Amino acid sequence: MARPSIFTPELAAAICERLANGESLRRICEDDAMPAKSSVFKWLSQDKVFADQYARAREAQADSWADDIIQISDDGENDTYKDEDGHERTNQDVIARSRLRVDTRKWLMARMAPKKYGDKITQEHTGAEGGPLVVSWLKS
């Protein structure tokens, strides 16, 4: 089956819907019913409406990942197991994998939507010993 290579608004909407639901563009484009990533990038550079729709879908994707973080964090189902003696043990591998999944989403979210999910950085300029800045003009 040939991959679609002709832009249609319906195909663009399907791509954006899947992005907004948290799916990566790579995974979407691996689907035989979807275009190659190179086609999507070409369309983005050629169609302003699609580019705007795509940008909104990327913002929604970050929100979807925020929901994923809560679900991953709340899911403790496999955090413990019973060893061969029947003692309950902590499954450090599952906990580490969950931490990695959360941290990866947080990192991506901070880069995709820095105003919403990035770390807030404030800069304060002070003068000597924390006092106000003093501005001097030198005459030449």
Predicted confidence at residue 134, as pLDDT, reads: 82
Instruction: Give the Å distances, CA to CA, from 25 to 16, 34, 54, 112, 116.
Output: 9, 10, 11, 14, 21
Predicted confidence at residue 1, as pLDDT, reads: 55
Query: Which residues are 25's β-sheet partners?
Result: none
Query: What's the whole-number mean pLDDT along residues 95-101?
Result: 96
CA pair distance 47, 39, nearest whole angstrom: 12
Confidence (pTM): 0.74
CA pair distance 3, 6, nearest whole angstrom: 9
- Lowest mean pLDDT, pick from 15-19, 46-50, 84-88, 127-131: 127-131
Query: What's the whole-number mean pLDDT along residues 11-23?
Result: 97
Predicted confidence at residue 67, as pLDDT, reads: 96
CA pair distance 53, 11, nearest whole angstrom: 12
Predicted confidence at residue 11, as pLDDT, reads: 96
For residue range 23-76, list pLDDT tens digits in order. 999 999 999 999 999 999 999 999 999 999 999 999 999 999 999 999 999 999
Percent of the chain with pLDDT over 70: 97
Predicted confidence at residue 94, as pLDDT, reads: 95
**82 φ/ψ angles, rounded to the nearest 5 degrees:** -100, 130
Predicted confidence at residue 102, as pLDDT, reads: 96
Predicted confidence at residue 120, as pLDDT, reads: 82
Query: What's the whole-number mean pLDDT along residues 107-125?
Result: 87
